[in-house]
Amino acid sequence: MTTKPVLLAVDDERIALAAIERDLLRAYGADFRIVCATSGSEALATLKQLKLRNEPVALLLVAQHIQEMTGVEFLEQAMDLFPDAKRVLLTASTDTDIAIFAMNQVKLDYYLRKPWDSPEEQLYPVLKDLLADWQVAYRPPFEGLRLIGHRWAANTYRMRDLLARNQARVQWLDLDTSEEARRLLAALGSETLPLPVLLFPDGSWLADPTPIAVAAHFGHAMHAQLPFYDLIIVGAGPAGLGAAVYGASEGLRTLLIEREAAGGQAGMSSKIENYLGFPAGLSGAELTRRALLQATRFGVELLFPHEVTSISVEGSTRLVHLADGAVLSGHTLLLATGVFYRTLDVPGSERLNGAGIYYGAGMSEAKLYRGQDVYLVGGANSAGQAAMYFSRYARSVTLLVRGPSLVESMSQYLIDQIAATPAVKVSTSTRVVEVKGAANLETITITNTETFETQELPTTALFVFIGATPQTEWLAGLVERDEHGYILSGLDLLYDGHRPAGWTLDRDPFPLETSVPGVFVAGDMRLRSMKRVASAVGEGAMSVRLVHDYLREL
């Protein structure tokens, strides 16, 4: 549905206002929404609401003599909200001087004597010209979310990234450069709100919201619907989504819990070219959208965004504890929380995280670097994909690689693509040793590990892809992990043919089963996993078959 632009009429003489409304409706009711107000303050309040709902205003038709302020004073304030709206002052015969003064003061487009005898002769020709003029510059308003904040604020970046990864349609408005951002904050009545401010299409808004507050605003379920599940999956990356589709399609009461955004690492991939069945490749966002649709079609219950902080065991019941204190129960659990990017440990990097230093692909930022020179650290596929993606926007993309070549760490198809893309340069045997900047990244210092030559390069973007590790401290003491935090499963749990300590069943752990019977693991967090989308999906699917075997034993 496209929003009709508004024609706002303001007059405190009710009979006169009704006549204006009637005339406007007759000629313009089909293409515009006619809104009336009887005082300046009522009209300004209406304009603020229209601004917050992103409804366009084409015309302000205001009487000079209205309650609380003059028509010119009203227009002065209205201009701040809708600078492009055409402005017409309705005057009495004695107001000519005021109208002429207003031509300059509020850039009045026209003044009309009221009342008019014939709208056909005195009103419509004027409005026809003005509205035709307005229409030329008019662009239909954006109908999604709007996010207002400071570009280099870390919490604003996190919200931008989270919304992008959740595939929300968002218009980003940078307070440092966007007049519209300032107008919106003025319409909210406070320019000192905690930022970022997230505006919804219905005009409602949240200041510096948490992911849970945003999800609640969208009407997502905040609590699990069932008292007990057959399968609770922690993490909605490829492994969790794969398990969700198979679990629900096979009739298991299945709950999928995710703390950030479905898709996990794969959701951050600009183009996955090695996933079976998609010869032209597909973006992680598209794969995630399809998987979520498929999972919900089969009846999976989703609980997003909720963080699981621990799990426990009570007899044959497996319990999941959430950060908000809720405890959920089921027969079986699947751990699928993947791995997390490693952070760059050089002077300055922590302070500039989110202000020029980006982890986890930073796809939401690519368009902000149009025409600029950006740097990527890392030599694996994720860095290669990102380099290709950023080259669509940036003037140059330089890949800083620690090793002597990409051959050891990157798939050949990506090496070939990079070689064929002039905007992407590769700097091998290179380490980043320092990053600098006041409010945001300004320079990076790199060293060649063979020649020891050091250079300080100006840039405002460094995207970091230097590997990932599992973060599984919350599982310590319950399931067995290796020294890096990877979860052991199946045969890896048998030491000299002995089952793990505390193992209660008269059988060996199934493949993918952890040291706790009925608690399974799939995807990147599992020791010896393949770190691929297809293998994570496959393990997710496979875990459901093993869940069935386990349930038969109960």
Residues within the interface to ligand FAD (CB under 6 A) = 234-240, 257-260, 264-266, 268-269, 272, 274, 307-308, 336-339, 361, 381-382, 385, 523-524, 531-534, 536
What's 401-442 look like in SS3?
Answer: CCCCCCCCCCCHHHHHHHHCCCCEEEECCEEEEEEECCCCCC
Lookup: tokens for 90: 């309705």
Question: Cα(414)–Cα(296) distance, rounded to whole angstroms?
Answer: 34
**Closest by Cα among 552, 516, 511, 548 to 231:** 548
Least Cβ distance, residue 335 to ligand FAD (angstroms): 9
**Residue 182 · residue 190 · CB < 8 Å:** no
Measured from the CB atom, the residue of 151 and 259 that comes closer to ligand FAD is 259
**Residue 44 · residue 77 · CB < 8 Å:** yes
Instruction: Write out the DSSP string of 497-541.
Output: TBPPTT--SSSPPPTTB-SSTTEEE-STTBTT---SHHHHHHHHH
Least Cβ distance, residue 302 to ligand FAD (angstroms): 12
Residue in the block written with tokens 């109960």 = 554
Least Cβ distance, residue 312 to ligand FAD (angstroms): 14
First to last CA, the chain: 53
Question: Cα(19)–Cα(22) distance, rounded to whole angstroms?
Answer: 5
Q: Of all residues in the chain, what percent are helix, strand and coil, respectively (each to 5)?
A: 30, 25, 45
Measured from the CB atom, the residue of 45 and 530 that comes closer to ligand FAD is 530
Least Cβ distance, residue 320 to ligand FAD (angstroms): 9
Least Cβ distance, residue 102 to ligand FAD (angstroms): 57
Q: Indicate the Cα dihedral angle 386, 391, 392, 393, nearest 10°.
A: 100
Measured from the CB atom, the residue of 121 and 473 that comes closer to ligand FAD is 473
**Closest by Cα among 374, 404, 402 to 389:** 374
Measured from the CB atom, the residue of 183 and 531 that comes closer to ligand FAD is 531
Question: Cα(47)–Cα(58) distance, rounded to whole angstroms?
Answer: 12
Least Cβ distance, residue 425 to ligand FAD (angstroms): 20
Question: Cα(309)–Cα(94) distance, rounded to whole angstroms?
Answer: 74
Least Cβ distance, residue 258 to ligand FAD (angstroms): 5
Measured from the CB atom, the residue of 196 and 538 that comes closer to ligand FAD is 538
Measured from the CB atom, the residue of 161 and 258 that comes closer to ligand FAD is 258
Least Cβ distance, residue 257 to ligand FAD (angstroms): 5
Measured from the CB atom, the residue of 473 and 506 that comes closer to ligand FAD is 473
Measured from the CB atom, the residue of 182 and 531 that comes closer to ligand FAD is 531
Measured from the CB atom, the residue of 87 and 160 that comes closer to ligand FAD is 160
Question: Cα(406)–Cα(380) distance, rounded to whole angstroms?
Answer: 8
Least Cβ distance, residue 536 to ligand FAD (angstroms): 4
Query: What is residue 353's three-state secondary structure?
Result: strand
